[in-house]
Amino acid sequence: MRDRHTGEPPRAAPPPEAGSLRESVADYVALLASSGLWVVGDPAASREDGAREAPSAGARALRADEPARPSIAAATVAAAFPATPGSAPDLFTPSLLDGTPSTLAEIREQLGECTRCKLSRGRTHIVFGEGNPKAEILFIGEGPGEEEDRQARPFVGRAGQLLTKIIRDGMKLRREDVYIANIVKCRPPGNREPERDEVAACGPFLMQQIRAIGPRVIVTLGRPSTSTLLGRAVQITRVRGVWHDFHGIPLMPTYHPAFVLRQYTEKTRREVWEDMKQVLQRVGRAI
């Protein structure tokens, strides 16, 4: 199993051998990638870096650098796709990038009272996303939690309050200046990560939102959203702070705010702030 918070395999895991193993891993990963949007490391793994506020009973927070039990899939996928900037394969169908973008209102209308995936059965509200429809900075999280589901607004629980604080007090922006969305728009039950079919059902709508907004920078919050947009399983501790590319849009992965809440250390907070400084620089804003 991967580290619940970071998705990392144990640091001591031996590197895969070059040659045939690498080829078969690459084939396996290509198969996964071609069959959906989501490259899973360990389907049994629970949600990682804190998309939910309250850990389940008996759960405990792990340190970001704490080794976890081995995950062959996560280790081999990570080896096959080293975290190099600008290496994002096509994740969403390229045709969605072509043509005239719909407005956010049109996309919301197309979404309707969506029942395209099983998450619809447990939701109270669809959490479409909110903010400046022409935001320079687009934050993408994992999926609505309990409070978000209740209010139909993204990032309004405890983690959301921290994100708001980062935006307002750290970046000196208003929440209304940026746009905030998630990779799925309905709350996953039992605090679990969104599953591949759910991400696949919601992905085209997120892609259309990205096109409509046309952000200068995307910030992915945590491993699931980063892995989804990059189309490969990542370890957030390795990719955060490094610029990536999403169909020509600079993408900065950083920690999920709920992970920061649980790991409220000087180091974690400093790293998030360093990531946000890079984002501000990229959009030409004063730090």
Q: Which stretch binds ligand URA (CB under 6 A): 25-33, 70-78, 151-159, 208-216?
A: 151-159
Is 228 a binder of ligand URA (CB under 6 A)? no
Is 129 a binder of ligand URA (CB under 6 A)? no
Fill in the amino acid letter for 116: R
Q: How many residues touch ligand URA (CB under 6 A)?
A: 13
Q: Cβ closer to ligand URA: 182 or 226?
A: 182
Is 139 a binder of ligand URA (CB under 6 A)? no
Is 145 a binder of ligand URA (CB under 6 A)? yes
Is 136 a binder of ligand URA (CB under 6 A)? no
CA angle 135, 196, 93 (to 5 degrees): 55
Query: Side by side, which strands form the sheet with 244-246?
Result: 130-131, 179-182, 137-141, 217-221, 249-254, 244-246
Is 193 a binder of ligand URA (CB under 6 A)? no
Residue 137: its H or E element: strand 137-141
Q: Do the beta carbons of residue 104 and residue 133 sit within 8 Å?
A: yes
Output the residue with the shortest Cβ distance to ligand URA. 141
Q: Do the beta carbons of residue 138 and residue 213 sit within 8 Å?
A: yes
CB of 155 to ligand URA, least distance (A): 4
Is 141 a binder of ligand URA (CB under 6 A)? yes
146, 149, 150, 151: CA torsion to nearest 10: 120
Is 182 a binder of ligand URA (CB under 6 A)? yes
Q: Which stretch binds ligand URA (CB under 6 A): 99-107, 113-121, 156-164, 208-216?
A: 156-164
Q: Which residues contact 61 (CB under 8 A, 6 or more apart)?
A: 5, 55, 262, 263
Per-residue x/- track, 26-65, ligand URA (CB under 6 A) = -------------------------x--------------
CB of 114 to ligand URA, least distance (A): 16
The only residue of 9, 144, 215, 250 in contact with ligand URA, by rule CB under 6 A = 144
Q: Max alpha carbon distance in the chain (Å)?
A: 52
Distance in angstroms (rounded) separating the CA atoms of residues 162 and 158: 6
Q: Which residues contact 106 (CB under 8 A, 6 or more apart)?
A: none
Residues lying near ligand URA in the complex (CB under 6 A) are found at 51, 141-145, 148, 154-155, 157, 159-160, 182
